[in-house]
Chain A
Amino acid sequence: MSRIKDSPEFQRGAPVTIIVDGAPLPAFVGETIAGALLASGRRAWQHTRHGQPRGMFCGIGVCFDCLVTVNGASKVRACLTPVAEGMIVQTQETTP
């Protein structure tokens, strides 16, 4: 739940801000939505029909546990989708 520090051998992309459930979340170009959420300390961003929290499980687009709504499009896999400046992400709680 953290970013590995930049070093002379390694630097992240440019900083961007995405909007998650109405609140700004700092991220870096090249990260995925799931990466940015996990780096901020958030482990779960979905709730199942039975109210169970879920976050990232498989990390490679197979399990569909990490779904979010992105700029109005639903069922987007957070683990595969790169962040972009101003991207509007809704976790399942706020999806109508």
Chain B
Amino acid sequence: MTEQVEIAVVGAGPGGLCAALAAAQAGAQVALIDNNRHPGGQYYRQTAREFRGAPSSHQREGAALLQQAIAAGVRIIAETNVWGAFDDKVLALNDGAATTYLQARAIILATGAYDRPVAFPGWTLPGVMTAGAVQTLIKEQRILAGKRFLLAGTGPLQLVLAAELARAGAQVVAVLEGSRVFPRVLQHAGALWNQWERLSEGLSSWLTLARHRIPYRVGWGIVAAEGAAQVEQATIARLDGNWRPIRGSEEKIACDTIALGYGFVPFNTLSRLLGARQEWRPELGGEVPARDAQMQTSAPGVYAVGDCAGIGGAALARVEGQIAGSAAAAQVGHGTADAIPARASALARERRFQRMYAALFTPGVGLYELSQDDTILCRCEEITQAEVRHALALGADTTNEVKLITRGGMGDCQGRMCAHLIAHFIARETGRSVAQVGMLPPRPPIFPIPITALGVTR
């Protein structure tokens, strides 16, 4: 059976919470669906509710937004995956047992992003994880994923994570920043105006690093991870301006955990499934839906906000959420979309910051050239670069054709880990652009679900 709702919001991070709140305040009937135990997404990641403790300022802000949304009448559907999206704005929901269907008059997607996977020799060894994995364990469960951490990646979030690790008593052997951020940051100093909260968080993390004497190596990157059953050491190297390792600069560094923080990939699967036209925008993280000023995609009544429509951080997600919530409410007959003019200056400020962030911290092409022929590109199906090369020799020249030949991208993660890696490899080998090579078309169910869950008909 299919339930009806005026507005369905998918994802309860900063963007989704603000969108749901704005739409409900305008008078719309709103359902907010989230797949986590605790709404809040990655940015507002809450400590497990069974734990007792003092929440951080981010956690307090997230909890307050959630309370406001509930008070405004938003119906929260937690611990529920959206595994499919079909014509006439029907979403398929699964809570681990049963499937239900929800039909909305407008859908606001706020599905966020995930850490960018980077393939290099040894990246499938236990102990290599994303920075998000390490941070989530600390924030949610107060657990350290290792003892001696190497942080490799780009951007200020690495400093925040290193500081959190140091404060929790872990050893951080080094933080590698791939971008030659100094002195280029000075060219963008204007975008830092009115970003005092971000600057103060960055400064405080920086001071913690200095206090713990954690080396911060600018222009360095990971090249390989080595170990028998798990990570024992890493090979790192100086990078040139395109992020290619400089031959002869390699060093070995002992560690048991490597946290990869090379930015984020937008989770655009649902906007693609709903037919929204996509664009390839490396500076926004990859493939993202095109949108108008109301955050509406090319699919009428389907909006996308926050990182799932282009990496921009929590503050931008909040503004976009308010605009989309207000616009979607007006579309279904409530209010007048007044958030668009009201939030114009906040939107401009956050977009400036987004452009600065992209200019400084978008990885160079060298990051996609670390894999060797025996390196696995598709973790699920264990497809190596050599197998992808073989598929190209057979005539494949798109990511989808490589999938049909090799099964790369057909595993449980549905290509979310490997599509970018395979696409960049094909582009390099064939001399075509990543946009031409393309991403993988999504197929429902976009998450594995029990076969019994499909027994329920609409």
Where the two chains meet, the residues of A that have a C-beta atom closer than 8 Å to any C-beta of B are 1-4, 9-14, 28-32, 35, 38-39, 43-44, 48-50, 52-65, 67, 73, 75, 79-80, 82
Separation of A60 and B168 alpha carbons in the complex (Å): 21
Chain B residues closer than 8 Å to A61, beta-carbon distance: 35
Known A43-B126, A57-B128, A73-B450: A30·B54 in contact at CB below 8 Å: no
Within 8 Å of chain A (Cβ to Cβ): is B274? no
Q: Contact: B413 with A10, CB < 8 Å?
A: no
Q: Contact: B450 with A35, CB < 8 Å?
A: no
Majority-rule SS of B interface residues: loop
Q: Contact: A44 with B134, CB < 8 Å?
A: no
Q: Contact: A30 with B133, CB < 8 Å?
A: no
Separation of A11 and B37 alpha carbons in the complex (Å): 19
Q: How many residues of B contact A (CB 8 A)?
A: 52
Within 8 Å by CB of B416, from A12, A49, A63, lies: A63
How far, in Å, is B401 (CB) from chain A's closest CB?
23
Stretch at the interface among B45-53, B208-216, B429-437: B45-53
Q: Per-position contact with A for B1-42: 1 when CB-CB < 8 Å, else 0? A: 000000000000000000000000000000000011100001
How far, in Å, is B20 (CB) from chain A's closest CB?
21
Chain A residues closer than 8 Å to B117, beta-carbon distance: 63
How far, in Å, is A1 (CB) from chain B's closest CB?
6
Separation of A29 and B268 alpha carbons in the complex (Å): 33
B residues 280-326 with Cβ under 8 Å of A? none
Within 8 Å of chain A (Cβ to Cβ): is B143? yes
B residues 132-146 with Cβ under 8 Å of A? 132-134, 136-138, 140-146
Known A10-B52, A52-B124, A75-B412: A3·B133 in contact at CB below 8 Å: no
Q: Per-position contact with A for B99-127: 1 when CB-CB < 8 Å, else 0? A: 00000000000000011010000001111
20 other contacts beyond A10-B142, A39-B143, with CB at 8 A cut-off?
A: A1-B145, A2-B143, A4-B144, A13-B51, A31-B141, A35-B137, A43-B229, A44-B230, A48-B382, A53-B229, A54-B379, A58-B115, A58-B130, A59-B130, A59-B132, A59-B137, A63-B416, A79-B136, A80-B37, A82-B48
How far, in Å, is B140 (CB) from chain A's closest CB?
8
Where the two chains meet, the residues of B that have a C-beta atom closer than 8 Å to any C-beta of A are 35-37, 42, 47-54, 114-115, 117, 124-130, 132-134, 136-138, 140-147, 168-169, 229-230, 256, 267, 379-380, 382, 411-413, 416-417, 448, 450
Known A48-B382, A63-B416, A65-B379: A11·B141 in contact at CB below 8 Å: no
Q: List 15 A-B contacts (CB under 8 A).
A: A2-B144, A4-B169, A10-B52, A11-B51, A12-B51, A30-B47, A30-B49, A30-B141, A31-B143, A49-B382, A53-B125, A53-B230, A62-B413, A64-B448, A80-B36
Counting chain A CB atoms within 10 Å of each CB, the highest count among B133, B140, B169, B416 belongs to B133
Within 8 Å by CB of A56, from B48, B133, B140, lies: B133
Q: Contact: A57 with B379, CB < 8 Å?
A: yes
Chain B residues closer than 8 Å to A67, beta-carbon distance: 412
Chain B residues closer than 8 Å to A54, beta-carbon distance: 124, 126, 379
Chain A residues closer than 8 Å to B124, beta-carbon distance: 52, 54
How far, in Å, is A4 (CB) from chain B's closest CB?
4
How far, in Å, is B52 (CB) from chain A's closest CB?
5
